[in-house]
Structure 1
């Protein structure tokens, strides 16, 4: 029994509005309006009205007097000024170099005094599960101004992506993944009537036709990335995270279908063979990847396949009250730390992702801290959540730096992050698209 290969893919035009509306309700009931949620900075910037059918422009503000760190170059600029106009960085650098830009926006800009603090670009969480307004706001408040979804149950990430366009103080800019491409989708079948025929399949979503169908439905709903797996979960005591559920050929079908729709692919994986099969099938990033081996690292370096180790999730697993999960976490955490350091030494691109979900949101700064503990130099640990993660999720021209033309996202911290990256776990101020994020 399989899905009819002649059945056309669902129509995005006919259903996307309904999916967005339903997902908004599941995410917490936010109305997508043109009015920004109240905040001192939001009031300073001119707004496009709902009548225009376009989101409001970004904020205009000046971050004055902090120590600016550019993760790309490693350059540190003391007594720096960052000028953000309509949500985009107009200038960033020394007081002298930015004085004309300051003068151009001074009359309308909000000013944030940053003396004694460090200024960095907004951080990027390359693997997070956000399904509610509360979780989304917590993630951005902790410094993650751009994120890549690791999937949601009912397309909530698509609605949150839209919410972030309209009220950027409430949710991070999102790359949405929609529904997990997995052999046993369970109740996520109910997320979309076009997925319901898959419930007939005795062996689950395994045939080429079924795999393509799940990808096509996701693409029709407007996802940016496709999430699949090669191993079972580590976070369930009844599953074996080293058991392989898809082979290389099945993964290649998913990758090919995603590519046809212009999407990238992230792959949940743990076992050495599973990781290698996923890389050889062409996925864009390996998630978790505890038993990543040197042979596969060399292939990842050649292909520029990213490694997103989700160290914070492993650390949380080690502290789980379930004894099976806690033992698994204690076993996996030192292994994956060694894999991260070896991958770094081998030149594998690395991105930070917390794998947060279910109302427990780890600060992306915690992932940076664990990268440092694994042996990465402080600057390179910071790069995993700035320039590196931005490149992985396709935002390298607008996120990960505070430079002209980049999006006006920033975090301010009270201590030197190059001396102690742990300061990034608790930003004193977060700026999203030129607006201050409410605590």
Structure 2
């Protein structure tokens, strides 16, 4: 459960190079040559002929060995269709073919002699899963997220742009980090030590009331985008996971959140919101997704459906509070769980797109499969829970064409599980193999 507080106008005047920001963020994230080498030690790789886009480094990115996954039941989350005794061919970081043995015969022959074969007989083969709300601040965090099967993630913010640095890794070192959609710094009144992440943030230290004026909110949003954030994270309410905070108190109004959305210029804004007023204001301000959303009203749900606003309930972050040793948090967990479950059912009925996000922080990672199970327990069918962690989340991240399905040309992200995801809401917790960016992260096949 996420217990952290994330405390860590005019166009930015400074021209601090983005590569300088990335270098500092990489150091904070624990990214080093030695660390990456250790992570890749068991994954066969060769040097690519030419460097990919990325830092101006006089070397070449790694490329992965071709893989053939055969014998399992290949599931398409978009349709619920399944291919028994199917074959998936991965080559060059992409899906080269998927289908029956006859349909993939040519693709298999093309990689013969240089591909590793994995026998998935008796198991189910899926696209890599997507976690739409994580807080990864270090290489160890990214590694733990991958182990649970989430090969693509959306950041819920980081304290010093570590997520921006992690986003650069996959094109150079496959299998080290999930595909990251970074959010940069949390747009919140109190930036705390995150002010030290960027010299351009120094003027915000002078604000006695914190970052609350619309021009300052816009300024912070623009700094985030300039440093490499692809989405923006803000809040309507305080945190439920901290007993001293009241999650129904209003932090930002519709006008304040609207200033953030406007400054984001098309980058999706995800909004931490609990109270009915906070959720409704965020939706009317134009945010891309509501995070948590416990006390959303029926009217707001219908407005979300009309606008196409996504809903990330973060079920585990809420339900797990019930087991807390802190009486305030335990009471919140017990009170909020059935309310959030009802909100999920109402959102489903209204046609709101529901996505899976764990709100994991650091190495305290909830596997994305657990979040899918909790969504199923709240009222989604097993297929709908699978879609929440694949196609729906990929659409939210703007990667629906290449992530969330195993089709030719899609990214080479695969999970193999030990149970039928079309019949068992807990199937995504039973991960046996993870392939990220074509690299074999873990397997027992």
What band does the TM-score fall into relative to the shorter chain? over 0.9
Instruction: Say if 1:288 and 1:9 are closer, same or farther in 2 by CA, change over 3 A.
Output: farther
Alpha-carbon shift at residue 36 of structure 1 (Å): 8.8
Alpha-carbon shift at residue 208 of structure 1 (Å): 1.6
Instruction: Say if 1:409 and 1:229 are closer, same or farther in 2 by CA, change over 3 A.
Output: same
Q: Verify the 8 A CA contact 2:48 2:60 in the aligned structure 1.
A: no
Instruction: Tell me the distance in 1 between the aligned counterparts of 2:118 and 2:42.
Output: 11
Q: Verify the 8 A CA contact 1:34 1:56 in the aligned structure 2.
A: no
Output one character per residue of 1:351-383: Cα deviation in whole Å (capped at 9) or x when no partner: 100000032100000010001001111101100
1:174 corresponds to which of 172, 180, 184: 180
Output one character per residue of 1:141-180: Cα deviation in whole Å (capped at 9) or x when no partner: 1100000000011111111111233222121000000100
1:314 aligns with 2:318: yes
CA RMSD of the aligned region, Å?
1.8
User: Normalising by the residue count of structure 2, what TM-score does the alignment of the two structures yield?
Assistant: 0.93
Instruction: Say if 1:332 and 1:84 are closer, same or farther in 2 by CA, change over 3 A.
Output: same
Output one character per residue of 1:189-226: Cα deviation in whole Å (capped at 9) or x when no partner: 12111112111111111112211111111011011000
> What is the SS of the residue equivalent to 1:252?
helix
Alpha-carbon shift at residue 298 of structure 1 (Å): 1.0
User: Normalising by the residue count of structure 1, what TM-score does the alignment of the two structures yield?
Assistant: 0.94
Unaligned runs of at least 5 residues, structure 2: 1-8, 52-56
Q: Which has the higher helix share?
A: 1
Q: Aligned residue for 2:6?
A: none
Q: Aligned residue for 1:144?
A: 150
Alpha-carbon shift at residue 318 of structure 1 (Å): 1.7
Q: Aligned residue for 1:20?
A: 22
Instruction: Tell me the distance in 1 between the aligned counterparts of 2:366 and 2:80.
Output: 26
Unaligned runs of at least 5 residues, structure 1: none
Alpha-carbon shift at residue 279 of structure 1 (Å): 0.5
Q: Verify the 8 A CA contact 1:67 1:76 in the aligned structure 2.
A: yes
Instruction: Tell me the distance in 2 between the aligned counterparts of 1:250 and 1:32.
Output: 44
Alpha-carbon shift at residue 110 of structure 1 (Å): 1.3
Q: Verify the 8 A CA contact 2:369 2:427 in the aligned structure 1.
A: yes
Instruction: Tell me the distance in 2 between the aligned counterparts of 1:420 and 1:215.
Output: 41
Output one character per residue of 1:408-438: Cα deviation in whole Å (capped at 9) or x when no partner: 1010011212222323123110011111104
Q: Verify the 8 A CA contact 1:231 1:268 in the aligned structure 2.
A: yes
- Equivalent residue runs for 1:13-412 within 5 Å: 14-31=16-33, 37-39=39-41, 41-43=43-45, 47-48=48-49, 53-259=59-265, 262-412=266-416
Output one character per residue of 1:242-274: Cα deviation in whole Å (capped at 9) or x when no partner: 001111111110000001xx4211000001111
Instruction: Say if 1:256 and 1:209 are closer, same or farther in 2 by CA, change over 3 A.
Output: same
> What is the SS of the residue equivalent to 1:89?
strand
Bigger CA drift: 226-235 or 312-321? Answer: 312-321
Instruction: Tell me the distance in 2 between the aligned counterparts of 1:33 and 1:414.
Output: 31
